[in-house]
A = this chain, B = another copy of it.
Amino acid sequence: MKRRPTIIDVAREAGVSKSTVSRVIADDGLGVNQETKERVLQAVENLGYVRNAVASSMRTDRTNLIMLAIPDITNPYWPEVARGVQDVMDAEGYAVVFANSDWDEERETEYLKMARRNRLDGILINTVRVSSDRLKATGIPTVVLGTREEYSDFDRVGADSYVGTKFAVQHLVDMGHRRIGVILGQLDTKSKDSRKRGYVDVLVNAGISVDESLITIVPFTRAGGETGFKSLLELTPPPSAIFCANDTIAIGALQTALAAGLDVPGDISIIGLDDIDAAMTTHPPLTTITKPKYDIGRQAANFLLEQIHGDAPAMPRKLQLAGELCVRGTTAPPSNK
């Protein structure tokens, strides 16, 4: 079991100094003779030399490692965001360390500590509980995934649920629906508001008066969708179409409708928001608004790279990306009965 070759072994093999070897493997085109360069590369090949990134980091204070901290990779939203991040970072030679906070404050702070300890070059984080100040205290370039206002000192990238909602409701209006119910999710006040705004704005713009009784608020779960759907159905007349704050709620609503013997979209149209995986395989498949997950990851990564390279603008940026309408089988023009 022999020791791994170092830059010095390569230097000896090639008959040059370690400085020269260093210059060759840094490969920044700096003054090194073509012939010696080839001799060095040959020596690298012969010895099977692999540069020690740890030693390099020690000297340069850069690790080419960034952290992606999210609540739970198991949540269907994140894998695609992660892919977007990874594809960008990869191309720039950065590896991505994953951290799942599980919505736990302690784990979240533990990860931030890890990032400092390991001298990571950047942080992409969907914050859970950590305060803006503590996040800033890491001293590491950071981009926040999401658009919560508490983090307005950071570059932020998230989905534009206002525009997404407008796309969805507009689609229903375009089909001829006039009495449109909404099932909003609670938890996140910020996004609730933006959805409500989107809903109201479309109706007003279409000359439809807003009936507050058509707006119901439930948890962001399938059970929530069931509750919301049932309460809307009790109205007289019931709505001919329903916009749901996300697909999980929409699927709950859809299942409830089917269980009640209703025909979707014949009797009632349902539209969701996010386009989760399961939306494609409900019966009928769910009409929804795509969430630009991959792009969110990509853009966040790009912002982070700019920060790392020091060419980010002085003021923090907020980027909201809208998805697009994806018409499947749960929406149709209202029936005339």
Measured between beta carbons, the chain B residues less than 8 angstroms from A118 are 53-54, 65, 95
A95 touches B86 (CB 8 A): no
Measured between beta carbons, the chain B residues less than 8 angstroms from A258 are 283
Is A18 on the interface with B (CB-CB < 8 A)? no
Is A80 on the interface with B (CB-CB < 8 A)? yes
Measured between beta carbons, the chain B residues less than 8 angstroms from A79 are 73-74, 78-79
Contact residues of A: prevailing secondary structure: helix
Is A281 on the interface with B (CB-CB < 8 A)? yes
A50 touches B113 (CB 8 A): yes
A283 touches B283 (CB 8 A): yes
Is A317 on the interface with B (CB-CB < 8 A)? no
Is A290 on the interface with B (CB-CB < 8 A)? no
Given contacts A55-B58, A82-B73, A278-B277, contact A50 B251 (CB under 8 A): no
Number of copies: 2
B99 touches A98 (CB 8 A): no
B280 touches A119 (CB 8 A): no
Is A282 on the interface with B (CB-CB < 8 A)? yes
B95 touches A97 (CB 8 A): yes
Measured between beta carbons, the chain B residues less than 8 angstroms from A72 are 83
Complex Cα–Cα for A146 and B118 (A): 31
B83 touches A116 (CB 8 A): no
- Least CB distance, A137 to chain B, in whole angstroms: 9
- Least CB distance, A140 to chain B, in whole angstroms: 11
Residue of B nearest to A82 (CB): B73
Is A63 on the interface with B (CB-CB < 8 A)? yes
Is A152 on the interface with B (CB-CB < 8 A)? no
- Least CB distance, A62 to chain B, in whole angstroms: 10
Q: A73-B82, A73-B83, A278-B278 are in contact. List 14 more A-B contacts (CB 8 A).
A: A52-B119, A53-B118, A54-B118, A54-B119, A65-B118, A74-B83, A76-B277, A86-B100, A95-B99, A97-B97, A98-B98, A255-B283, A282-B282, A283-B283
Query: What would be 26 A-B contacts, judged by CB atoms less than 8 Å apart?
Result: A50-B116, A50-B117, A53-B119, A54-B54, A54-B57, A55-B58, A65-B118, A68-B98, A73-B73, A73-B86, A76-B277, A86-B98, A87-B100, A95-B99, A95-B118, A96-B97, A97-B97, A97-B98, A98-B98, A255-B283, A277-B277, A278-B278, A278-B280, A278-B281, A281-B281, A281-B282
